[in-house]
């Protein structure tokens, strides 16, 4: 499982010109799954995201977590995080988990975040989405559950 975590001042996602998810202060998380991901990967990533101290404290030091600032999360499914670009110029997505399986893990991931009292907004899995991110900092972090 891979996620790209971006600190955001405000962001939203729309499908067919209809906003499906919107947050103010918090995190935008692009979420991708690979073939052998399971609940252990989700648990690892959720724990990391909740514990990340990437928000400024009163001294301007990145020392606060998403829970410390009572922030929200905009979660966007993103199979292209598993693009393989080693051969040629057209990416291969053979390592991305197929949608029918990935949607179950994606929903479980979002539910586990919600179980930690975090407001989670989403796009629509598998839809063509228009994502507007106002990255704060910019702060962008990549987390891979296979790299521990």
> Which residues are known to be catalytic?
80
What does the block give as tokens for 35? 């073939």
DSSP-assigned beta bridge partners for residue 8: 26, 135
What does the block give as tokens for 92? 């291969």
* Cα-based torsion angle of the residue sequence 75, 76, 79, 81 in order, rounded to the nearest 10 degrees: -70
- Cα dihedral 74, 95, 97, 52 sign: negative
> Helix and strand tally (H, E) in the chain?
2, 8
Distances from the Cα of 91 to the Cα of 67, 82, 95, angstroms: 36, 9, 11
């Amino acid at each position: 499982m891979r996620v790209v975590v971006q600190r955001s001042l405000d962001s939203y996602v729309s499908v067919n010109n209809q906003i499906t998810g919107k947050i103010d202060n918090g995190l935008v998380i692009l979420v991708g799954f690979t073939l052998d991901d399971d609940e252990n990967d989700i648990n690892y990533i959720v724990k990391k995201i909740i514990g990340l101290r990437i928000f400024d404290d009163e001294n301007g030091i990145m020392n606060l977590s998403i829970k410390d600032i009572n922030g929200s999360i905009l979660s966007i499914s993103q199979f292209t995080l598993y693009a393989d670009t080693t051969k040629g110029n057209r990416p291969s997505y053979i390592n991305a988990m197929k949608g029918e399986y990935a949607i179950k893990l994606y929903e479980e991931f979002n539910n586990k975040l919600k179980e930690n009292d975090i407001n989670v907004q989403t796009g629509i899995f598998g839809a063509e989405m228009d994502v507007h991110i106002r990255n704060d900092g910019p702060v962008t972090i990549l987390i891979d559950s296979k790299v521990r």
